[in-house]
């Protein structure tokens, strides 16, 4: 039986800003881009959340909801410095630390002797050290697997923790809304609700075959997770699956020609990031992301063995044709081959499915 802790700092970027400027304490603070550049909120304090502000919201809308919002530009050097301190604390307890972002990680503390082997006491100690050494607060979830630990870490936010013991798993999961299942977004949740499924308990009578018919390969995940089954290991070295860059434009790009003219600058930025990245797997696919003026979004991809301007141009044309509207955001990127079959395919197949020489 594993003992997994999921640690997640509370309003991380905003918390670092308040730590470094105590005059901001108790005020609605957000970190993000400016409204006039079509910026979005990266994170915000709980005081801002009380007004309905949340991450990924446009800054313009956030300011409408909270005119007194204190908007700060991100300072990633300070955030990375705090992240390094936090990761060092985690690694004092176990080598099995899987970072998910600058402020969030899974820890496998199975068999760890500290705190008499109690994952609950370890989580309390870790959170106390983050408060004392880093100057911000963190929340934690403790459970027998990653899925449940991540759900639990959100249960008593901010600055709290929640434990799901092995004998409590069945009842805890049965009451969970299906939207809490990893991979269930708004569209899938609405679809499940239309089928009369609102909680994981509602989903359990569905057979694996029925879920697969209705949801394809994702049906197997639904079948496992609605029962609280998650056998994924905590992996300290997470493999990068993709690399991309994107830009939101101050003024919508009116047509395909304008989008094509904007593409070289994106590709140049991608090239810089690609050149700095280390230990990358072979490229398997090229990807273009487009967000239109009406906020609808599309992603186009094809098999590719390397970053290629001509491929991205062709994908841009294909994606733009799907709506034909002005464009507010463009992105280009690649997906990397996974171990086994994809790696072999990537070596054998060139651009647009042509056999590589």
Give CA–CA dist 304/311, Å, rounded.
8
Instruction: Give strand pairing partners of 329.
Output: 248, 291
pLDDT for 231-275, tens place per residue?
Answer: 999 998 777 788 999 998 989 999 999 999 999 999 999 998 888
What is residue 241's predicted lDDT score, i.e. its pLDDT?
A: 84
pLDDT for 5-55, tens place per residue?
Answer: 999 999 999 999 999 999 999 999 999 988 888 888 999 999 999 999 999
Let me know whether 22 and 85 are in one domain: no
Distances (CA, A) of 213 to 180, 193, 195, 198, 252: 22, 17, 14, 19, 41
What is residue 181's predicted lDDT score, i.e. its pLDDT?
A: 93
Distances (CA, A) of 263 to 254, 311, 320, 329: 14, 12, 13, 11
Number of domains the chain is built from: 4
Let me know whether 108 and 120 are in one domain: yes
pLDDT band for position 341 (50/70/90)? very low
Nearest to 139 by CA among 126, 124, 158: 158
Give CA–CA dist 27/48, Å, rounded.
8
342 φψ region: left (φ > 0), alpha (ψ -120 to 50), beta (else): alpha
Neighbour tally for 6: CB within 10 Å: 27
312 pLDDT above the threshold of 60? yes
In a domain, 25, yes or no: yes
116 φψ region: left (φ > 0), alpha (ψ -120 to 50), beta (else): left
343 pLDDT above the threshold of 60? no
In a domain, 283, yes or no: yes
In a domain, 235, yes or no: no
| Per annotation, catalytic residue among 104, 231, 246, 338 | 104
What is residue 279's predicted lDDT score, i.e. its pLDDT?
A: 65
What is residue 187's predicted lDDT score, i.e. its pLDDT?
A: 87
pLDDT for 219-234, tens place per residue?
Answer: 999 999 999 999 999 9
Binding residues for Mg(2+): 8, 103
In order, the DSSP letters of 154-212 are TTT-SS-EEE--GGGHHHHHHTSBGGGSTT--HHHHHHHHHTT--BHHHHTTS-HHHHH
Let me know whether 116 and 126 are in one domain: yes
Let me know whether 271 and 330 are in one domain: yes
Binding residues: 8, 103
CATH number at residue 176: 1.10.150.20
Cβ–Cβ under 8 Å, residues 28 and 45: yes
CATH number at residue 71: 3.40.1170.60
Let me know whether 257 and 342 are in one domain: yes
Give CA–CA dist 90/39, Å, rounded.
33
Let me know whether 246 and 349 are in one domain: yes
What is residue 339's predicted lDDT score, i.e. its pLDDT?
A: 59
Tell me if residue 338 is catalytic.
Answer: no
Task: Supply the range of the domain harboring residue 326.
Answer: 242-353
pLDDT for 168-221, tens place per residue?
Answer: 999 999 999 999 998 898 889 999 999 999 999 999 999 999 999 999 989 999
107-116, 162-171, 279-288, 294-303: segment of lowest average pLDDT: 279-288
In a domain, 237, yes or no: no
In a domain, 323, yes or no: yes
Phi then psi for residue 21, to 5 deg, are: -140, 80
Give CA–CA dist 122/134, Å, rounded.
17
Let me know whether 23 and 117 are in one domain: no
What is residue 351's predicted lDDT score, i.e. its pLDDT?
A: 29
pLDDT for 57-107, tens place per residue?
Answer: 999 999 999 999 999 999 999 999 999 999 999 999 999 999 998 999 999
In a domain, 231, yes or no: no
Share of the chain above pLDDT 70, in %: 94
Strands 327-336 vs 41-44: parallel, antiparallel or unpaired = unpaired
Enter the pTM of the model. 0.76
pLDDT for 96-137, tens place per residue?
Answer: 999 998 999 999 999 999 999 999 999 999 999 999 999 999
């Amino acid at each position: 039986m594993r003992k997994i802790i999921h640690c997640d700092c509370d309003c991380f970027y905003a918390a670092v800003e308040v730590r470094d400027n105590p005059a901001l304490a108790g005020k609605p603070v957000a970190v993000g881009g400016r409204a006039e550049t079509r910026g979005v909120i990266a994170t915000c304090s709980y005081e801002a959340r009380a007004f309905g502000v949340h991450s990924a919201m446009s800054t313009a809308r956030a300011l409408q909801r909270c005119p007194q919002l204190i908007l700060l530009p991100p300072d990633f050097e300070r955030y990375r410095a705090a992240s390094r301190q936090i990761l060092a604390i985690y690694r004092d307890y176990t080598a099995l630390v899987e970072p998910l972002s600058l402020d969030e990680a899974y820890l496998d503390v199975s068999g760890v002797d500290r705190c008499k082997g109690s994952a609950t006491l370890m989580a309390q100690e870790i959170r106390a050290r983050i408060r004392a050494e880093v100057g911000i607060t963190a929340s934690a979830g403790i459970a027998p697997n990653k899925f449940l630990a991540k759900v639990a870490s959100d249960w008593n936010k901010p600055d709290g923790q929640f434990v799901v013991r092995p004998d409590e798993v069945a009842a805890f999961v049965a009451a969970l809304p299906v939207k809490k299942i990893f991979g269930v977004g708004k569209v899938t949740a609405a679809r499940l609700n239309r089928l009369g499924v609102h909680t994981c308990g509602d989903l359990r009578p569905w057979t694996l075959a029925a879920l697969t018919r209705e949801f394809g390969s994702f049906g197997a995940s639904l079948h496992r997770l609605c029962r609280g089954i998650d056998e994924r290991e905590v992996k300290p070295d997470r493999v990068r699956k993709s690399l991309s860059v994107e830009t939101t434009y101050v003024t919508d790009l009116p047509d395909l020609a304008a989008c094509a003219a904007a593409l070289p600058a994106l590709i140049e930025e991608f090239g810089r990031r690609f050149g700095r990245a280390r230990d990358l797997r072979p490229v398997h696919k090229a990807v273009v992301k487009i967000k239109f003026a009406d906020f609808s979004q599309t992603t186009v991809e094809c098999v590719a063995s390397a970053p290629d301007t001509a491929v991205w141009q062709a994908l841009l044309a294909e994606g733009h044709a799907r709506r034909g509207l002005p464009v507010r955001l463009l992105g280009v990127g690649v997906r990397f081959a996974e171990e086994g079959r994809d790696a072999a395919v990537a070596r054998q197949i060139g651009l647009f499915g042509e056999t590589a020489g």
